[in-house]
Structure 1
Amino acid sequence: MKPTDLVVTPMGLRFLGRVFPCTIGRGGIVPPGRKREGDGATPAGMHRLVGMLYRPDRLTRPADWALPIGPFDFWSDDPADPDYNLMVRAPHGFGHERLRRADPMYDLILITDWNWPQAEPGRGSAIFLHQWRRPGAPTAGCVALSRRDLLWIAPRITHQTRLIVPG
């Protein structure tokens, strides 16, 4: 592991010598082969960060490679969708999650390469790092942090930064 890796530990998310409180999926951590769509689990493993999305109406651009979230941007979470586990645009006839939410949870999203780019249907979609609902509240499988900590981390990650979730 490198200091530039984001490492989930029992104490929180370790990054650049600091530890940030974080939450994981309500289903706990599962081996990659047991991860399933909708199980609420966070998959163990070494995950590359492959994208950063942000709400330009709520935040300034956190990094030069961050892309804005528009009002018609969704994430497909329907295993029957040919675009499963990809960002899609409305109108979209398959199950999806709206990225531009009324709450601030997805104002800033770091996208991992979980089950991407060639998604295996049903293996789980959208393992993000995002803002938590509240301290200690579990996620649907993502890793969540306070807004302040996420905003501190985002401009400091590089294309080599990985999310490491020990099994």
Structure 2
Amino acid sequence: MPAGLQDQVNLGRNGLAWGLGLHPNQTGPYKQEGDGKAPAGVFELGTAFGKYNAVNTGLDYQPQDAGHYCIDTETSPRYNQIVHVSEVGKNAIRDSTEPMRRDIHAGDHLYDKGIVIRHNPDNIPGKGCCVFIHLWRSAGKPSAGCTTMEESQLDTLLAWLDKDSKPLFVVLPEKEYQKNQPLWQLPVL
């Protein structure tokens, strides 16, 4: 990770809970839909996304428009998937509260740029969805369950990442990181 980024992020307003990712099963609370917790663990990164036609990144990039939604409706067969209304129809997005163009639908710029965190890759209903790295509201203002950062920091991260190196996202309390670092072959901090 580029120097300095690990100390300059916001997480979920209710802290962390174990997510569903690459790490082994853990004891303790697991992330649930709507709990306000960011997922803890080790995760693959998915595509970068945003409102721009392109951004400087080594990840695959998916421009978003007013018709893109991440489905957070637990009963949907498209739960935890980014879809376009033109492909799935208006009924598929009717109850979703995650429009990917927040600048259009919610009047903020949180999703102008972001990266999908592959939490809950099997899309298990109720286990948490639509988890991203995206722009923050401000320093010290927690998210609903994502990892957020200032725009220049996100730009640095996007430019640094390379999909061919298969980057992973690790978020753990320091004690858990130290405990699992040798077992999970995590970098020494």
Q: TM-score, normalised by structure 1?
A: 0.83
Per-residue deviation, 1:78: 0.8
What SS is found at the alignment partner of 2:102? coil
Let me know the Cα RMSD of the aligned residues: 1.6
User: Unmatched 5+ residue regions in structure 1?
Assistant: 1-14
Distance 1:133 1:114 in 2: 22
The residue number in structure 2 matching 1:77 is 72
Q: TM-score, normalised by structure 2?
A: 0.74
Per-residue deviation, 1:94: 3.4
The residue number in structure 2 matching 1:162 is 168
Per-residue deviation, 1:137: 0.4
Whichever structure has more helix as a proportion of its residues is: 2
The residue number in structure 2 matching 1:143 is 147
Matched positions, count: 150
Larger radius of gyration, structure 1 or 2? 2
Report Cα offsets for 1:110-146 as digits up to 9, x if no partner. Answer: 0011011x21100000110000011110001100000
Distance 1:97 1:31 in 2: 22
Distance 2:150 2:94 in 1: 33
Report Cα offsets for 1:84-115 as digits up to 9, x if no partner. Answer: 00012232233231110121110011001101
User: Unmatched 5+ residue regions in structure 2?
Assistant: 20-28, 177-189
Identity %: 26
Distance 2:41 2:119 in 1: 9
Distance 1:83 1:98 in 2: 14
Contact residue 81 and residue 94 of structure 1 kept, 8 A? no
The residue number in structure 1 matching 2:180 is none
Distance 2:18 2:62 in 1: 31
